[in-house]
Structure 1
Amino acid sequence: MMGPVLAACLLIILSTAWISQANGATCKKDGGVCTCNDQTKNVDCSSKGLTAIPSNIPVETTELRLNFNSLSKLSPAAFHGLSKLTYLSLTQNKLQTLPPGVFDHLVALGTLNLNNNQLKYLPPKIFDSLTKLTYLTLNTNKLQSLPEGVFDKLAELKTLDLQNNQLQRVPDGVFDSLLNLNTLDLSINAWKLQRNQLKRVPEGAFDKLQNIKDLRLEENPWDCTCNDILYMAKWLKKKQDEGLGGVDTAGCEEGGKAVLEITEEEAAEDCVYPNTTTAIPTTIITTLASSNDDDIPELPVPQENFQKFLGYQEPDHLPTQPQCLMSISGYLGLMMSLVLTSAAILYVIHFLKKA
């Protein structure tokens, strides 16, 4: 009777070992879903329907592609241990936010693609560890504003793409540290999937862009009636004379005139724009609390500040989907484990009855 029992135990051990190995596999050669190249240290997990980052990505990986998946959130530790990554692409997913610290271990990263997601806001300091970053795409998201200082550590950045968002303003000095920037895109493409809403830029917004070669500003509703636009008009005119590309793409919302052609007489008004990145003042909250619901006006408060006002923090303690179930091999392994385990149990019961 010991023979069948030992056999059943052996089957269970073998099936458990097999499923454990499958769960930990990332590369196809090991039963995973991603294509891995040992020579180039590239891992491609694109178009796999992933809802979480695969586990056990080789630590030697230098390029990681996770494009065209269904990632809606990332674990704060998603890329920990991948300090050799120089290229990371998360294009065409469903990311709505980024957990603070998610990129902190990517100290060698040169390219980061976050375009074609659903990002509504960026956490402050989210890019602070990416001091070697040269290429950053954030286009075609839902960003309404940028945190102050969000690009302060990106002194090596050469391309910044913010096309097709919902930006209503840019903070003072947000581009001041980008001394090596060649290309800045704040425009809207021909499809206008999203629409930036920039009416002006702060005084001195572009002054530190010493190496800028291409600036895209088209299709924003630039307000040429207010004298706040004069800084931008004079700067663009100067840069046009210096041969900067794209300076004539900024057109006034009314009349279609190029911003760089606006005169002081045309932009004579003293306009005051609401600070759309400021949380609701306490006095307004008190007033609203004592008013009828029908009398409460809609206030355009961006998501990041409203959450900050409410004391919201990105949860990092919630359980995440088991990464062992993210790949086909994981599912097949689980099924195989259940089948083998059931067979082993039936095998033992059969021999116990005969005994």
Structure 2
Amino acid sequence: MMGPVLAACLLIILSTAWISQANGATCKKDGGVCTCNDQTKNVDCSGKMLTAIPSNIPTDTDRLDLQSNKLSSLPSKAFHGLSKLTYLSLTQNKLQALPPGVFDHLVELDTLGLNNNQLKSLPPKIFDKLTKLTLLYLNTNKLQSLPEGVFDKLAELKTLDLQINQLRSVPNGAFDYLSNIKTLWLDPNPWDCSCNDILYLSKWIREKEGKVNGIESATCVNKKAVLEITEEEAAEDCVYPNTTTAIPTTIITTLASSNDDDIPELPVPQENFQKFLGYQEPDHLPTQPQCLMSISGYLGLMMSLVLTSAAILYVIHFLKKA
């Protein structure tokens, strides 16, 4: 009886080892899903329906293509072993946010594609370590604002694409350190030219007109060109939902002069309050298999079930004979 038991154990051990290799593999030649070129150091994982970044991407990879997948989030250390990357595409995924520091080890990166995602905001200093970056694509997202100084370290940047977002203004000095910028796409965005926050952008466009491509096309929500806005037209203080701007002085004065007993308690529906804060329910919550398994993982699981079933049948067969 020891023979079949040992055989069954061996089969189970082999199947477990095979699964571990498949889950850890990146390149097709090793059982993974990506196409790897040892000569050019390119790893192509595009269009694989991935919900997680494959593990064990070669550390000497120069170009990593992850576009056209289903990535909804990134681990904070997703690219920390890939310091030789010069090209990274995360285009056309479902990214809703970026963890701080996720790009900090990509010190050689030249091109970064984050376009065609669902990004609503960017963490402060998210691009600070990418001092060699020349191409940055942020277009076709849902960006409502930009952090102060988010582009300050990108002195080598030549192309910045901010098209098709929800930007109403940019922070004062947002583009001042882009000393090599040649192309900056700004439109369409709902630029709010009634608020004085737009004056920096208007002045910057006038100063760079004819020197930077794409900027003259930026238009306000009323269709007037941003570069034509005057201080008289942009006289209002900007207060937007989902920001930390100050409460208007008139409201503060009213509250300060009112007795608590005089202030009526107004019911605020939860759903309206959430809308004011910019809160939205996520489209879906990723399940555990989505988070932990790539396509190769599913194949490994199927193979494990087949091998385990075979081992059980093998043991039962010998037990019956005994």
After TM superposition, the score normalised by the length of structure 2 is: 0.81
Structure-2 change in CA distance of 1:66 and 1:270 (3 Å): closer
Residue of structure 1 equivalent to 2:191: 197
Q: Distance in 1 between matches of 2:101 and 2:288?
A: 17
Within a 5 Å distance, the mapping from 1:7-18 to structure 2 comes to 7-18=7-18
1:7-33 C-alpha deviation (Å, 9 max, x unpaired) = 222212222222221111111111111
Shift of 1:301: 6.2
Aligned partner (choices 311, 316, 321) of residue 349 of structure 1: 316
Residue of structure 1 equivalent to 2:47: 47
Shift of 1:174: 1.4
Residue of structure 1 equivalent to 2:86: 86
Structure-2 change in CA distance of 1:250 and 1:123 (3 Å): closer
SS in 1 for 2:70: coil
Shift of 1:336: 1.3
Residue of structure 2 equivalent to 1:6: 6
1:303-346 C-alpha deviation (Å, 9 max, x unpaired) = 5xx89xxxxxxxxxx9965766211x321221111221222133
SS in 1 for 2:184: strand
Q: Is the 8 A contact 2:51 2:290 kept in 1?
A: no
Residue of structure 2 equivalent to 1:292: 266
Q: Is the 8 A contact 1:144 1:302 kept in 2?
A: no
Within a 5 Å distance, the mapping from 1:244-323 to structure 2 comes to 245-246=213-214, 248-250=216-218, 268=232, 271-276=235-240, 277-279=243-245, 281=247, 291-293=265-267, 303=278
1:220-247 C-alpha deviation (Å, 9 max, x unpaired) = xxxxxxxxx6x46xx62x655x665556
Q: Distance in 2 between matches of 1:18 and 1:247?
A: 54
Residue of structure 1 equivalent to 2:299: 332
Residue of structure 1 equivalent to 2:173: 173
Shift of 1:125: 1.1
The range that moved more, 55-64 or 2-11, is 2-11
- Gapped regions of structure 2 (runs ≥ 5): 281-285
Aligned pair count reads 304
After TM superposition, the score normalised by the length of structure 1 is: 0.74
Shift of 1:164: 0.7
Within a 5 Å distance, the mapping from 1:22-37 to structure 2 comes to 22-37=22-37
Residue of structure 1 equivalent to 2:66: 66
Percent of pairs identical after alignment? 65
Following TM superposition, the consecutive aligned residue runs of length 4 or more in structure 1 with deviations greater than 6 angstroms are 286-290, 295-302
Q: Distance in 1 between matches of 2:20 and 2:237?
A: 58
Q: Distance in 1 between matches of 2:291 and 2:218?
A: 47
**Aligned partner letter, 1:326:** S
Residue of structure 1 equivalent to 2:283: none
Shift of 1:269: 5.2
Q: Distance in 2 between matches of 1:293 and 1:9?
A: 65
Residue of structure 1 equivalent to 2:145: 145
Shift of 1:82: 0.8
SS in 2 for 1:26: coil
CA RMSD of aligned residues (A): 3.5
Q: Is the 8 A contact 2:183 2:213 kept in 1?
A: no
Q: Distance in 2 between matches of 1:270 and 1:279?
A: 17
1:1-57 C-alpha deviation (Å, 9 max, x unpaired) = 222222222212222222221111111111111111111111111111111111111
Structure-2 change in CA distance of 1:340 and 1:294 (3 Å): closer
